[in-house]
Chain A
Amino acid sequence: MSTSENLCSIEPVEIAPLAKIVERHQVWSHMAAKYGVENPVPPWKTSLDGICDALDQGGCGPEILSFVDRRNEEDTLSATVYSNLPYPENQLVSLAHSLVARGVIDETELQERLTGIRARLEAG
């Protein structure tokens, strides 16, 4: 049995809202340098960790996206469609990709939510 064949079946296809984010490339290293900030990781990193742990344990999370599948797909996507992103940006975008690929999040719904959240955050 080839283990590699069983590791991961995620398709490294382009998902439009995520492709736009990759293209804009507002990665933490650039932003931190631009604003003279020294934190090694972006402020949303621990919240992303919280999402991953909560998915692994909460409600129906593990049935939809198990821990092993999540990590395998992150490895595959980070080496392919998101190879231009550093960590942890590649972890975040890969997670979103896995959820869209499973139909948990609809691509249009994701784009609308991204637009809505940005409007909210900029409404200050």
Chain B
Amino acid sequence: MVDEITDFEVLEIAVRELCIEKGLFTADDHRSFTEFAEHIGPTPAAHMVARAWLDPEFKKLVLADAIAASREVGVDWLQPTGFGTPSDFTALHVLEDSPTLHHVIVCSLCSCYPRPILGNSPEWYRTPNYRRRIVRWPRQVLAEFGLYLAEDVAIRVEDSNQKHRFMVMPVRPEGTQDWDEDQLAAIVTRDCLIGVALPKVGVTSNAITDTRPAIHPANH
């Protein structure tokens, strides 16, 4: 453990205490949202895709009503408040890839992301650099993640917004014919669900991507 009290740890407590004292939110609100942040992650989304690959009926549900399909993998979008988180609402759409169509998600406005089912977004997803460039030059930006798509594969960039969240259902890769849901879910990484990677036999971790500052910062 880190046996030293850092300034950032102290600052986080100070901001929290002062906000509560000034009535910006309650201690109960904070505790509830912190617990939510503690337990979210990409595992349910990976299982949703893996199960959809195995079960055509479940796949229909995923594409028709992703919120209902989320419940089947243990995620209730109405939590933790009873009506969702303040920024996530309850509208999820799963974007199905095909051999000639690839999807990738972004939030060009800020950093909207399907947190209840995918966990917190990676750092690079939040940056103005990714948010601007993936919209303008998707093929090149995907190549920077190591994803080189053939010219005959169309790329659709889906821009999240305050009312809708998206995630990608990639094509089931070759070499997984006899796999079960757990085996398949292991290769459906967070990056695959964002659309900056494709599932591949033997690959179960995300790319480590340097975060680059925007050349033209946010206010220019």
Contacts and interface: CB of A to CB of B under 8 A. Distances in A.
A68 interface: yes
B11 A55 contact: no
B33 interface: yes
Contact of B26 (A58, A68, A109): A58
B24 A104 contact: yes
Interface in A40-82: 42-51, 53-62, 64, 67-68, 71-72, 75-76, 79-80
B31 A50 contact: yes
Contacts, number: 176
Interface stretch (B34-42, B57-65, B136-144, B145-153): B34-42
Interface stretch (B2-10, B47-55, B95-103, B175-183): B2-10
Contacts of B31: 50
A49 B87 CA distance: 12
A83 interface: yes
Given A51-B19, A95-B15, A96-B15, A79 B213 contact: yes
Interface in A1-40: 4, 7-8, 18, 20-21, 24, 26-28, 31-32, 34-35, 37
Interface residues of B, number: 53
A88 B15 CA distance: 15
A57 B86 contact: yes
A35 B12 contact: no
Contacts of B207: none
Given A47-B16, A58-B26, A24 B4 contact: no
Given A76-B219, A122-B5, A49 B120 contact: yes
B7 A117 contact: no
Contacts of A56: 85-87
B15 A31 contact: no
Contacts of A60: 23-24
A8 B219 contact: yes
Classify chain A's interface size. Answer: 35 or more
Contacts of A109: 18
A58 B29 contact: yes
B14 A114 contact: yes
Most buried by A among B12, B36, B128: B12
Interface in A75-101: 75-76, 79-80, 83, 87-89, 92-93, 95-96, 99
Contact of B219 (A7, A24, A57, A117): A7
B134 to A, nearest CB: 16
Interface string B101-114: 00000000111000
B7 A92 contact: no
Nearest to B20: A54
Given A46-B34, A118-B10, A67 B15 contact: no
A59 B14 CA distance: 19
Interface of B: 1-19, 22-26, 29-38, 81, 85-87, 109-111, 120, 123, 126, 128, 162, 211, 213-214, 217-220
For the complex of A and B, list the 8 residue pairs with the smallest distance between their C-beta atoms, beginning with the closest: A58-B25, A50-B34, A57-B86, A56-B86, A54-B25, A79-B217, A49-B37, A53-B33
